[in-house]
Amino acid sequence: MKDLKFVVTDFETTGHASKGNDRIIQASFVVIKNKQITGQYTSFFNPEVPIPAFIEELTGISDERVKDAPLFYEAAKEILPLLDGAVFVAHNVAFDLQFLQSELERAGYRTFSGAAIDTVELARIVWPTSDSFKLGELTGNLGLQHDRPHQADSDAYVTAEMLLLMIEKLEGLPMVTLEQMARLAVRLKSDIYLLIKAIIQEKQSNIEQLPEQVEVYRGLAMRKKNIVGRVIEKTPPVYPETDEEKAALIAAIPHFELRQSQADMMDLIHNSMQTSKHLAVEAGTGTGKSLGYLLPAVYQSKQEKEPVIVSTYTVILQQQLLQKEIRQLQQICPFPVTAAVLKGRNHYIDLYKFSQSLKATSDNYDFTLAKMQILTWLLETETGDVDEINLSSGGELFWNDIRQDNDYMNKGRKAWLDKDFYLHAKKQAKEADIVITNHSLLVADLLAKSSFFPACRHIIVDEAHHFERAARDRLGLFIDQMTCKQLFGKMGTYEQKELFYHMEKLVSKYGKKDKEDGRLAVNRKLQELQFESDEWFKVLQVYFEKHTKKRTGNWHRRQLRLTDEARSLPYWEHIEYGAERIDALIGELIHWMKQRLDQLSEFREQMTASEQVKMDSFKDVISEWEELQHTLLRLIFRPEEEEVIWMEGDSRSFANTFVIKSHPMEAAKMIQEALLRQKHVVFTSATLAVNGSFHFFTEETGLSSFEHEEAILPSPFDFKQNCRMIIPNDVPEVKSVHQEEYIESLANHLTAVAEAAKGRMLVLFTSFDMMKRTYDLMKDSGLLDDYILLAQGITTGSRSRLTRNFQRFDKAILFGTNSFWEGIDIPGEDLSCLVIVRLPFSPPDEPFAQAKSEQLARAGKNAFSSYSLPQAVLRFRQGFGRLIRSSTDRGIIIVFDRRIQTNQYGKTFLQSIPAISIEEASLGEVVSVIEKWL
């Protein structure tokens, strides 16, 4: 390490085209020697081209500022000595290095020929659980001072500080991990292997002392696992019955007060658990719902000496419960509280598979990077849960190769049993007072022959408005092209050297010598299957596009319900012919695969561990192919009554998005039989009731057939004082004008509203197409150039990343559909204006909604009032709940859909939200109200 000199660099430029007309306008070089920052050189440069307005806005560097600055070639004689013998380092090094080389070429100097390290690539390896690898977010998480982002001197210096921290982290890794990384690092894009080798050489002169929490097992260094045992009190703690007793407990959390609605919720749930009578409780925003159910749950757990299960819909809430509310619970309870998260098997790493993967010598870049990330992560993770680690999309493909997938034990895996993360999670769950899981896994467990959850009597279902949908999802089936490709790819042809090739090698080694033509015949069948599958999806695309072109607007995302009528349309018979051929081929191949498996089974004990893994993988593939065959027959030839089957896909990317799906029409019977008859259940959410009634929810879940309690706990926030609704009266009705005219009017109104509210605005749509066209119009108008416009599915980033970016900028507008109606939490002044463009009814031709309406009509019920309206109201309430997130929040909600005032059913929407001031107004009046109110 002493011999390595690093020059950490950052350039500000006029654009991205280093080979074109773009130039460097500011450069900074920070020198690091012997792990110390020893100097910094910074200069502005005259680029001899105008600086674009957006670059000036981003960097603060203007034409005026650089007009008297030197040209790059004039400063090159000062820069080149800095680079001599150095490792060139930058955040996104390819960008900076490209500009350096171009400028040196133009100046007539030799280009830089030394090593280069990318701190983005290195950060992925060193901090694999980071949410983002952008410089600002990394340095913020590390607590580094970074006052002037997008100024080269500030960016370069903070990158240098970050590099030193990364070197320090690498130096702390066990030698075995570093040696594995060194073998992998030669396949990275930058020269990180030089740094790792230097650290290894330095460490070799010292005797290694592993940290107490780290162990090395079979050549793999990882964090030790500890089961936190349940503490069983001699006398079970007594539930705090009075509000004073609860308040005394809550006082342990700084700046936290017990709310009356929260105390009421605790008592309702405690009484429900004591009597085993099911409960549905709606807890409004600000109630403190999570602690409201966790406190009585942990007392019940202590009393009965068994876990209480909490099921949520989203991974985000699972993590929040563990990291925030469980910690609060541990703070306030006068006894130890243990909690565990339990997820589906494929969330957990298979250590044997990963250890085997490290022996591979032909990885692509994404697999190499993922392996290095996982080597670091194994030293930190206590769960082995993939949700902790930030893998690239290519890294996620690698995860599919090393995740847990079955219980079948071979020689190799048996050796890893004591280290297994999935088994560890199950053991921890048995010892926990509270077990946190998700709806999908809970439903899967209810349907499984044997439960993998610990024995328990009480289940709390949070985000319960999603539970019936999650149950239908789990009961449903699907076929898509990517899954088929991956499944057939696992087997592969003989030439592709996948499972088929390896099984043939095993047969040659252990089984009877097969005739060459037998193998060739199977190989032809596999080739034929891959060909038939590809052809079938082409036919599906033709059918799908031909029969979904009648939609209005530029709507790329399409759906087609497979009714009897749809199955009589042109090209359907070709779909059936193709499915028959695929079914026949899969049948023949499964028959052959089972013969091969039987042939080799008697030799299993003689096989090596890696050969046994191949056998197990082969067995798994047989199960997967049988499942595919069953799904194909059900969806194409044998649809069941009370089941809806549909196709959906995006015409811009058919292969990646097309899927055939089925859902049962309802999940109520399953929920009744598997859950409500077997367990005591508390359902809770911020939105369960429609106009004060639980009727819709209890019918959907089957709860109406059981004796149960219902309660609505209103939000403690003063909505009347802090929130008001405006309905613009000068926007045309959407169906009264051409869509282009409506979107133009909407964009004009939103632009004026955004300027009045100074951004801080969330705009919720029900149609992606309408959102995109509105976003494009507003962005292209030039009227909002000072604003940051962020849009789901258009601006890159996940929902949480878009939300974080929205909060980072003062003048920001966030556009969202579907998932943005709920689950995002933006408290304070960051969000002051919520816009709902259309009331969130499901489109009438949306397959499930259409089928549900027909089912209700057959039963003599009004489909609109008994299904479409309550669904839309619950969604509307979720959207409304985004605005006021704390007692001090103030905001305005604008609803552009005048049906909320003009139609009779509009009252149901308004009566389902807290009482607030509602007024109709023209655009000018809306702007005036916003400016005065905010």
User: Which residues are bridge partners to 663 per DSSP?
Assistant: 644
**Spatial separation of the C-alpha atoms in residues 509 and 607, rounded to whole Å:** 10
Annotated binding-site residue? 189: no
DSSP per position, 547-615: TSTT-SSS--EEEEE--TTGGGSTTHHHHHHHHHHHHHHHHHHHHHHHHHHHHHHTTGGGS-HHHHHHH
Residue 707: CA atoms inside 13 Å, Cβ hemisphere, count?
Answer: 4
| Selection from 808, 842, 830, 841 nearest residue 762 by Cα | 830
**Paired strand residues for 920:** 727
Does 39 appear as a known binding residue?
no
Neighbouring C-beta atoms of residue 620, cutoff 10 Å = 15
| Residues forming a β-bridge with 72 | none
Task: Count other Cβ atoms within 10 Å, centred on residue 507.
Answer: 18
For residue 598, give every residue at least 6 positions away whose Cβ sits within 8 Å of its Cβ, in sequence order, or none.
none
Sign of CA dihedral 435, 440, 441, 447: positive
Instruction: Write the single-letter amino acid at 542.
Output: V
**Rounded Cα gap, residues 4 and 35, in angstroms:** 9
Question: DSSP per residue over 446-501, as a string?
Answer: HHSSS--SPP-SEEEESSGGGHHHHHHHHH-EEEEHHHHHHHHHHH--TTTTSHHH
Q: 61: closest CA among 16, 20, 13, 9?
A: 13
Angle at the Cα of 546 from the Cα atoms of 543 and 547, rounded to 5 degrees: 85
Is 578 part of any known ligand binding site?
A: no
Q: Is 286 labelled a binding residue? A: yes
Secondary structure class of 907 (helix, strand, coil): helix
CA distance 341 to 224: 18
Residue 673 token pair: 């039989």
Q: List CB contacts of 551: < 8 A, sequence separation 6 or more.
A: 558
Q: Is 584 marked as a binding-site residue?
A: no
Residue 833 CB neighbours (<10 A)? 25
CA dist list (Å): 448 to 423, 445, 453? 17, 5, 11
Q: What are phi and psi for residue 788, nearest 5 degrees?
A: -95, 120
Asked whether residue 437 is marked as a ligand-binding residue, the answer is no
How far apart CA 894 and CA 922 sit, in angstroms, is 12
Phi then psi for residue 405, to 5 deg, are -140, -15
Judge whether 428 and 227 are in contact, CB under 8 Å: yes
Query: Hey, CA dihedral for 351, 354, 358, 359, is it positive or negative?
Result: positive
CB 554 within 8 A of CB 773: yes
Tell whether residue 384 is among the known ligand binding residues.
Answer: no
Cα four-point dihedral sign 192, 195, 199, 204: positive
Q: How many residues does the chain have?
A: 934
Neighbours of 857 (CB within 10 A): 11
308-312, strands of its sheet edge to edge = 339-341, 434-438, 308-312, 458-461, 680-685, 278-283, 708-713
Which residues have C-beta within 8 Å of that of residue 684, sequence separation ≥ 6? Answer: 265, 280, 281, 282, 283, 289, 293, 460, 461, 462, 464
CA distance readout (Å), 411 to 406, 509, 597, 673, 699: 14, 19, 17, 40, 50
Q: Judging by DSSP bridges, how do beta strands 761-764 and 833-836 pair with one another?
A: parallel
Q: Is 287 annotated as a binding residue?
A: yes
Report whether 745 contacts 731 (CB < 8 A): yes
Bridge partner residues of 490 (DSSP): none
- Nearest to 803, CA basis, from 816, 785, 784: 816
Point out the annotated binding site for ATP.
Answer: 283-290
Point out the annotated binding site.
Answer: 283-290
